[in-house]
Amino acid sequence: MGTETEYGISTPSHPGLSPIVTSTHAVVAYAAMNTGARSRWDYEEESPLKDTRGFDLRRYHTVPVVEPDAVGIANVVTTNGARFYVDHAHPEYSSPEVLTPRDVVRWDRAGDEVMLTAAAALAAQGDQIRLYKNNVDGKGASYGTHENYLVPREVPFLTIAAGLLPFFVARQVLVGAGRVGLGQFSEQPGFQVSQRADYMEAEIGLETTLKRPIVNTRDEPHAFGEKYRRLHVIVGDATLCDVATLLKVGTTSLVLGLIEAGAAPALELADPVAAIRAISHDPGLTRQVALQDGRDLTALEILAAYREAVENHLGTDVDDDTREVLRHWDAVAADLGEDPMRCVGRVDWVTKLAVLEGYRRRDGLEWGDPRLAAIDIQWSELDPARGLAARMRASGRLETLVGPDEVREAMVVPPEDTRAWFRGQCVSRYAGQVRAASWDSVVFEPAPGTRGLRRVQLPEPLRGSRADIEPLLDSV
C-alpha cells in the first residue's frame, strides 16, 4: 500500500503567479539539490482512464518518456523509491510501496519533509512558497490525498465496492481532517468532520476531479494485471496526526481482508452520498443514516459492525502490525463514543476543533468569521514555524508513532521489503544511467558501444526487495 498527496501551494509575494509554474519550480529545485542526474517518468504503462468495469476513456496516447523539467509535468524519481512531480496545479508526492501501516506513516511523513526541502531550495534562490497538507482551499476547490492497496484480481470489483461503501462513509469519524465551512464553497457556517465529504457526488465511478465517487474504478494496477488490482481510494483526507494516518490505511487494509474472505458485514446504505455528508456535518457523532433494511445507524455503530467482523475473522492470534492497528481502533472508537475531545492529538478533526474552539472562546468568534477559515488553512501549513499542527507535533501535543530520525532517513532510503528498494537503489547508485522509471519498470541508458534502451520490468511488487537483489547490485 501507499499514499499520494497533492499539496496546496501559494506564493504570498506573487499571488497571481500560476501554481503550475510554482509547483514545477519546487520539483526542479528539489531534484537539483538532492538527486543529481535526472530520471524521467516512464509513461508506457500509464492508463488512468481505464475503468475496471471494462471500458477505457483514453482519447490520446502519451509518449513513453517525458522531459523531467517540462512546465506542468516535471517529475523526479527519488532515492527513497517515491515520485515527486506536478499534478495539475499541485506538487504531489507519491510514496513508495510498503507492507505495513506504520511504514505508510513513515514514508508519508517523509513526503512532508521532501516538500519542506523543496521550499528551502527555492528560498535559497530568492523565491518564497508556502505548502499546505490539506484538501480544500476554502473557495470551492478540492485536491486529493489518495491511498492505494494491492488486492487480488479474482475478487469481483462490485463485491469490493459493496463492502467498502458503508465503511468509507463511516471511516471519516476516525480519520477526517476537519474543515471550517459546510458545502463545497463553504456556503454555510459551521465545522465538519471531513475535508472531502462535500465533494463526493457519486457512489462508484472513474472521475477524480469532478463527479467524485466514494469508490473509484480506475484500473491501473502497476503490476501483473491478470493477478492484481490496485484499489485507488480518493475519499480520504490528508492527515497530520500519526495515529489517524495509521488508522486510515490499517483499518482499510483489514476491511479489504474481510471482503476477500467473504466475511464483511452485510450493510447497505440507502443513500451513501447523502450519508457521507450527513456524518461529516455532525461533529457530535449522533447523526444516524438509513440502511436499505430499514435500520438507522450512526457512524460509530457502522464501524463497530466492521470491528466485530474483523474480530470474528482474525481471532486474537494476530501479528504485531495488526495488533497495533486494532489497539488504536478500539481506543479511538471508545473515546469518540464517550467524548471526542479525548482524541486530541490522535484524530485530526478533533484536534483541529479543539484549537478552533479555543480561538472562538477567547475572541467570541462565530463559525462564519473569516479568521477561523484562516486558522483552518494555517493548521495544515508545513512550515514548522507557522503551521499549527507542525508546532503541536514539535511541542509533543500530537502522539507520534515514528521519530524525526526515522522520517529523515525515509526521505532518502527506500523500504527494504518491496520493489521500491530496487527502484530507489537504481536512482541512487546509477543516477547517470537511469533514463526513466515508473512503479513497474526502470529504463537504463545503453552501455557504451551498445544501442537501444534497456527496460527492467517489475510487475511483482513483492520482488526486487533488498533480500532479493542487493548481492547482485553490489556486484555490478
CA-based nearest residue to 254, from 163, 158, 353, 187:
163
Q: Is 131:435 a contact under the CB 8 Å cutoff?
A: no
Model confidence at 88, in pLDDT bands (50, 70, 90)? confident
- C-alpha cell read off for 114: 521532501
Backbone angles phi, psi at 127, to 5 degrees: -110, 125
Q: Where in the sequence numbering do the catalytic residues fall?
A: 87
Model confidence at 63, in pLDDT bands (50, 70, 90)? very low
* Beta bridge pairs of residue 84: 76, 93
Model confidence at 66, in pLDDT bands (50, 70, 90)? low
**Residues listed for the chain:** 476
The alpha carbon dihedral of 433, 435, 436, 440 has a sign of negative
**Cβ neighbours for 116, distance < 8 A, ≥ 6 positions apart:** 131, 382, 383, 384
Q: What integer best gives the mean pLDDT of the chain?
A: 92
Q: In this predicted model, what pLDDT tens digit does every residue of 238-297 receive, in sequence order?
A: 999 999 999 999 999 999 999 999 999 999 999 999 999 999 999 999 999 999 999 999
CA-based nearest residue to 178, from 356, 363, 365, 398:
356
**pTM of this prediction?**
0.93
Q: Is 205:211 a contact under the CB 8 Å cutoff?
A: yes
Over 80: is that where the pLDDT of 48 sits?
no
CA-based nearest residue to 233, from 264, 258, 200:
200
Provide the pairing of β-strand 200-205 with 212-216.
parallel
* Beta bridge pairs of residue 5: 93, 145
Q: In this predicted model, what pLDDT tens digit does every residue of 185-242 receive, in sequence order?
A: 999 999 999 999 999 999 998 776 678 999 999 899 999 999 999 999 999 999 999 9
More confident residue, 163 or 435: 163
Q: Is 173:193 a contact under the CB 8 Å cutoff?
A: yes
* Widest distance between CA atoms in the chain: 75
Q: Is 444:432 a contact under the CB 8 Å cutoff?
A: no
Q: In this predicted model, what pLDDT tens digit does every residue of 290-324 receive, in sequence order?
A: 999 999 999 999 999 999 999 999 998 899 999 99
Q: What is the pLDDT of residue 234?
A: 96
Cell 547517470 belongs to 432
CA-based nearest residue to 259, from 229, 295, 299:
229
More confident residue, 40 or 422: 422
Q: What is the pLDDT of residue 160?
A: 96
